């Protein structure tokens, strides 16, 4: 067995600067003073001291100056070279020295420097060593001792050795991974209650040159909780803290379970009025003799509180505290509940008017009812952009292209008073409308809406120019708050000039209808998602008493019922189904404006057929609508990542009678694709009719946003 060690670093090479180039090699010169004569002239330390003592001078006296010493040495050097004048002679004068001369001028160097952009620097290319790869160390990982603890898979998911996939640059790197896994194993076993666990890593050299990294774990015994002690004052209701702490004697001391139990206490106390509860640091005293631990938790619940007022601040505010009190689901004096605080925060976010918003409790210290203390809520807000542009694009066979765009100022009339301007541009429909909408109008989730619009529709069944006024009160779902019960009630007045077919003979006439309606709609939603449901069901009932004035007054009632269900076969496959029945009661079909009759066919109805294509037809094979309908659909939805495919079968028919006959049912089959986004799936479906009739297309295409149902 070997333990790999890090290899020493290579020495750093030093680069000596190159000397200036010379055109001629220097001639061999004799030294000024030979080595043996230099050593002989050099006095030793002892001789210096002796001279000093003999001469009566101090050896530590001041040395002669450099100039004096040079004057003493010059004669000696002259004798050694045989060219200096004798001692005592005057030094040579400047006249005796060779005349100074200017160095020869190099004509090339005297030329002006070239421009920088014309200088070509030779490119030194290093040798290509890309083919030379650092030798790789291969190793295998062996885990011993995990046994029946059930922790091996969790360890492997975080192991450095396993993550390395048996490859490393050096043996030292393998050793570092093994040491890291030692610490990981100990931490993991301690977190699961094995507080006596130890781990040892080693490396074995194999015969084939590879390494084997062996991690041996000794778990030891697993500790259990012996005693649970809570240091806290009594709460209301009694035992609230202990009941919220989901630990009991005999449980294994598992870190995640202990942390989850403490988090539950921190969650439950604010739900029961203790807005400022604090959880202290736990203490677990282990006893190796009994393999148990005594658990102690200090808790400071703080005062029990009740709601009082809402305050708000922010440089740019969407609306004030008065409207926030309308949105809140509590009143002054209600017991503080953190769930209601979270609900208020979510409701404020759902308005779409805030760039940021935070809701925090404020301790007042003022007494409230029943021995409580008042708690205020402070909302720190920053209003976001109030204007929004939105668009929708779709295509359907028989309906053509349809694009709808809208501009909205969501807070033009505070609080939450919006102005919406919409435009519809399509191959067979055009229109403009304006709408005023006030959300949370006097009550949470209640919306008032009033609008006016002009619309033109031209389909095979009819052509209509319509002017409309409408007003309604509603409670509707949003992506943040999907409500179980929804409703809408209101009224509308329509003035419509329509080109209509009187009977099956195909004779057309243009008539003007004055229509009044009082529509009511009630919905019940138990699905798990508003835009992309995968489980649950939805039901919707719509009843609209109406009166049509065209010559005579013709009262009648339009009613429809829709039911859709969703069943997950697996995580990626959902089976969805839908059914619908509808009726018009109290009037003959020809007395109903064509735009108010019942039709079927198209992307939201029976796929495989054009828009409004099913049902009775005139002599020109154009649909003329009916007074009753039934529809059925079954769809299998398979999703993989952000994509999906669907296969579906749709069926339905429109009848002239008031009650659906459930006969002569027409079917369509098809396939579709989905691209899932955060705001719902993009949908593209293609379908073909079964037993196609003359005049019907071989296939139909539908493109839109959201599931078909």
pLDDT at site 2: 32
Contacts of 298 (CB under 8 A, 6+ apart): 230, 231, 232, 279, 280, 281
pLDDT tens digits along 125-184: 444 554 555 668 999 999 999 988 999 999 999 999 999 999 999 999 999 999 999 999
Picking from 157-171, 308-322, 394-408, 518-532, which range would have the lowest pLDDT averaged per residue? Answer: 394-408
pLDDT at site 505: 60
What SS3 state is found at 117?
Answer: helix
Angle at Cα 602 formed by Cα 597 and Cα 608, nearest 5°?
A: 130
How confident is residue 49, by pLDDT bands cut at 50, 70 and 90?
Answer: very low
How confident is residue 30, by pLDDT bands cut at 50, 70 and 90?
Answer: low
The pLDDT of residue 557 is above 70: yes
Picking from 89-93, 551-555, 569-573, 612-616, which range would have the lowest pLDDT averaged per residue? Answer: 89-93
Picking from 199-213, 261-275, 490-504, 638-652, which range would have the lowest pLDDT averaged per residue? Answer: 490-504
How confident is residue 532, by pLDDT bands cut at 50, 70 and 90?
Answer: confident
The pLDDT of residue 501 is above 90: no
Class of domain 387-705: mainly beta
224-300 is a CATH 3.10.20.310 domain: yes
pLDDT at site 618: 84
The pLDDT of residue 451 is above 80: yes
pLDDT at site 362: 97
Euclidean distance between CA atoms 539 and 564, whole angstroms: 7
The pLDDT of residue 373 is above 80: yes
The pLDDT of residue 466 is above 70: yes
Query: Are the CB atoms for 626 and 663 separated by under 8 Å?
Result: no
Euclidean distance between CA atoms 394 and 396, whole angstroms: 7
What SS3 state is found at 441?
Answer: coil
Query: Are the CB atoms for 462 and 435 separated by under 8 Å?
Result: no
What SS3 state is found at 432?
Answer: strand
Estimate to the nearest angstrom the gap between the alpha carbon of 152 and the chain centroid: 31
pLDDT at site 499: 86
pLDDT tens digits along 88-137: 333 333 333 343 334 444 444 445 544 544 444 444 444 455 455 566 89
Q: Which is it for strands 305-313 and 373-383: parallel, antiparallel or unpaired?
A: parallel
Mean pLDDT of 581-585: 97
Q: Do domains 305-383 and 387-705 have the same CATH topology?
A: no
Fold classification of 305-383 is Ubiquitin-like (UB roll) (3.10.20)
Query: Are the CB atoms for 498 and 624 separated by under 8 Å?
Result: no
Domains of the chain: which residue ranges? 137-218, 224-300, 305-383, 387-705
Sign of CA dihedral 187, 190, 196, 197: negative
Euclidean distance between CA atoms 141 and 212, whole angstroms: 6
pLDDT at site 603: 86
How confident is residue 705, by pLDDT bands cut at 50, 70 and 90?
Answer: confident
pLDDT at site 316: 94
**Where do the DSSP E strands lie in 477-611?**
485-501, 508-517, 520-525, 536-550, 552-568, 573-585
Mean pLDDT of 536-557: 92
Query: Are the CB atoms for 406 and 432 separated by under 8 Å?
Result: no
* Token pair of 387 as six digits: 């204007």
pLDDT at site 80: 41
Picking from 471-475, 477-481, 530-534, which range would have the lowest pLDDT averaged per residue? Answer: 477-481
DSSP state of 623: B
pLDDT at site 72: 54
**Rounded alpha-carbon distances, angstroms, from residue 262 to 92, 195, 222, 242, 267:** 103, 21, 21, 10, 9
Looking at mean pLDDT, say which of 27-36, 64-73, 193-202, 599-608 comes out highest.
193-202
CB atoms under 10 Å from CB of 563, counted, come to 15
Report residue 112: phi and psi, to 5°. Answer: -65, 150
Q: What's the mean per-residue pLDDT of the chain?
A: 84
137-218 is a CATH 3.40.50.300 domain: no
The residue among 15 and 397 whose pLDDT is bigger is 397
pLDDT at site 112: 52
Picking from 12-26, 69-83, 364-378, 600-614, which range would have the lowest pLDDT averaged per residue? Answer: 12-26
Sort 668 into a burial class: Cβ within 10 Å, 0-12 / 13-18 / 19+.
Answer: buried
pLDDT at site 131: 52
Mean pLDDT of 474-499: 92
């Amino acid at each position: 067995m070997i333990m790999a060690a890090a290899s020493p670093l290579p020495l750093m090479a030093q680069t000596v600067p190159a000397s200036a180039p010379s055109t001629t090699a220097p001639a061999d010169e004799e030294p000024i003073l030979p080595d043996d004569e230099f050593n002989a002239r050099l006095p030793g330390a002892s001789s210096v001291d002796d001279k000093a003592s003999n001469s009566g001078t101090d050896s530590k006296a001041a040395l002669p100056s450099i100039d004096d010493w040079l004057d003493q040495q010059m004669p000696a050097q002259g004798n050694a070279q045989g060219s200096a004048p004798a001692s005592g002679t005057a030094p040579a004068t400047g006249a005796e020295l060779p005349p100074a001369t200017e160095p020869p001028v190099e004509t090339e160097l005297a030329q002006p420097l070239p421009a920088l952009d014309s200088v070509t620097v030779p490119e030194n290319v290093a040798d290509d060593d890309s083919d030379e790869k650092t030798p790789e160390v291969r190793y295998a990982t062996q885990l011993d001792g995990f046994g029946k603890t059930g922790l091996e898979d969790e360890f492997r998911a975080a192991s450095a050795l396993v993550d390395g996939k048996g490859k490393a640059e050096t043996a030292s790197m393998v050793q570092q991974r093994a040491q890291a896994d030692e610490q990981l194993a100990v931490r993991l076993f301690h977190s699961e209650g094995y507080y006596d666990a130890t781990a040892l890593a080693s490396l074995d050299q194999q015969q084939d040159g590879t390494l084997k990294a062996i991690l041996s774990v000794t778990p030891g015994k697993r500790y259990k909780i012996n005693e649970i002690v809570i240091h806290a004052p009594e709460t209301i209701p009694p035992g609230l803290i202990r009941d919220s702490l989901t630990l009991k004697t005999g449980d294994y001391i598992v870190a995640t379970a202990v942390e989850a139990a403490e988090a539950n206490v921190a969650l439950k106390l604010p739900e029961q009025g203790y807005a400022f509860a604090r959880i202290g640091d736990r203490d677990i005293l282990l006893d190796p003799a009994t393999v148990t631990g005594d658990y102690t938790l200090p808790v400071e619940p703080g005062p029990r509180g009740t709601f009082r007022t809402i305050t708000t601040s922010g440089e740019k505010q969407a609306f004030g505290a008065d409207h926030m009190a309308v949105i809140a689901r509590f009143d002054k004096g209600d017991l503080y509940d953190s769930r209601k605080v979270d609900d208020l925060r979510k409701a404020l976010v759902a308005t779409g008017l805030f760039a940021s918003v935070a809701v925090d409790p404020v301790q007042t210290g003022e007494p409230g009812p029943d021995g409580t203390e008042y708690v205020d809520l402070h909302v720190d807000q920053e209003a976001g952009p109030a204007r929004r542009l939105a668009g929708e694009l779709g295509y359907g066979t028989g309906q053509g292209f349809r694009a709808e765009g809208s501009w909205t100022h969501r807070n033009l009339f505070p609080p939450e008073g919006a102005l919406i301007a919409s435009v519809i541009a399509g191959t067979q429909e055009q229109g403009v409308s304006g709408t005023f909408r006030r959300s949370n109008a006097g009550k949470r989730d209640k919306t008032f809406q009033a609008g006016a619009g002009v619309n033109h529709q031209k389909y095979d069944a009819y052509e209509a120019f319509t002017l409309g006024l409408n007003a309604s009160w509603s409670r509707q779902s949003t992506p943040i708050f999907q409500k179980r019960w929804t409703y809408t009630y209101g009224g509308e007045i329509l003035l419509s000039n329509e080109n209509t077919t009187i009977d099956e003979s195909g004779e057309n006439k243009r008539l003007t209808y004055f229509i009044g309606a009082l529509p009511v709609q009630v919905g019940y939603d138990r699905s798990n998602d508003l835009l992309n449901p995968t489980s649950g069901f939805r039901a919707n009932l719509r009843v609209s008493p109406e009166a049509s004035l065209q010559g005579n007054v013709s009262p009648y009632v339009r009613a429809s019922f829709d039911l859709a269900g969703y069943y997950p076969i697996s995580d990626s496959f959902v089976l969805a189904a839908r059914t619908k029945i509808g009726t018009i009661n109290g009037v003959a079909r020809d007395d109903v404006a064509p735009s108010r009759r019942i039709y079927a066919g198209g992307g939201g109805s029976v796929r495989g057929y054009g828009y409004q294509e099913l049902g009775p037809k005139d002599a020109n094979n154009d649909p003329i609508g009916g007074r009753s309908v039934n529809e059925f659909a079954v769809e299998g939805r398979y999703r993989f990542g952000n994509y999906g495919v669907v296969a579906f079968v749709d069926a339905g028919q429109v009848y002239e009678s008031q009650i659906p006959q459930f006969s002569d049912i027409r079917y369509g089959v098809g396939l579709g694709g989905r691209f899932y986004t955060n705001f719902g799936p993009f949908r593209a479906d293609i379908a073909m009719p079964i037993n196609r009739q003359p005049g019907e297309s071989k296939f139909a295409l539908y493109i839109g946003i959201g599931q078909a149902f």
